[in-house]
A and B are shown apart, each in its own frame.
Chain A
Amino acid sequence: TQLLEQSPQFLSIQEGENLTVYCNSSSVFSSLQWYRQEPGEGPVLLVTVVTGGEVKKLKRLTFQFGDARKDSSLHITAAQPGDTGLYLCAGYSMIYNQGGKLIFGQGTELSVKP
């Protein structure tokens, strides 16, 4: 079984601070995805990272895929209250015959206070 471990599980910060969320595995993934979920809604995709070492930026959000494709990070610069939500990393299983399985980490609950 491939697992994705996210840390921290909870993060409460003040507006304007920076933060980093980590997504780690002992297994290699062909790609990793980051989703954001707001209360009462389903997750929505933020980004997919595919190449080892890849860095993608989405306004104040920076996503990185580890060189070995076993880990990823999400860095938010100058967090705003609108960034509040649950952040989830996800990846497709690379176990033989389970390539369709999409697994998620436990999530990071982010609260940004004004």
Chain B
Amino acid sequence: NAGVTQTPKFRILKIGQSMTLQCTQDMNHNYMYWYRQDPGMGLKLIYYSVGAGITDKGEVPNGYNVSRSTTEDFPLRLELAAPSQTSVYFCASRQVNTEAFFGQGTRLTVV
């Protein structure tokens, strides 16, 4: 059972570089989420999607972009990386009225 798969697991970026964090789920879930988590803290919502073709901003969307062209995939794009984007990024998915299932996370460092 794959569940929610995130790639890469680790990445070091230089300031100003761009990258895409990949997230795919095989549970046919409508809802998908991107969160960032700083050390010892909770999860802050970056973007979410309620279905293919529909995305919406969360609490901290600045510096990020997303797309949802298929039910399975929800990539997160970082343009012009900044040190403030150093964090652990989690992707999650759920179906209506169910729990959220999380990926293993991507640890990103911007230097």
Contacts and interface: CB of A to CB of B under 8 A. Distances in A.
Given A33-B99, A45-B99, A105 B56 contact: no
Interface in A23-38: 33
Interface residues of A, number: 24
Instruction: Give the secondary structure class of A's interface.
Output: strand
A102 B100 contact: yes
Contacts of B99: 33, 45, 48
Most buried by A among B35, B50, B59, B99: B99
A88 interface: yes
Nearest to B102: A42
Contacts of A106: 41-42
A102 B48 contact: yes
A6 B102 CA distance: 21
- Chain B interface: which size bin? 20 to 34
Contact of B104 (A42, A98, A105): A42
B75 interface: no
A105 B43 CA distance: 7
Interface of B: 4, 31, 33, 35, 40-45, 48-50, 56, 58-59, 90, 92, 94, 99-100, 102-105
| 8 nearest A-B pairs in the assembled complex, by CB-CB distance | A42-B102, A45-B99, A107-B42, A100-B50, A106-B42, A104-B43, A104-B42, A100-B31
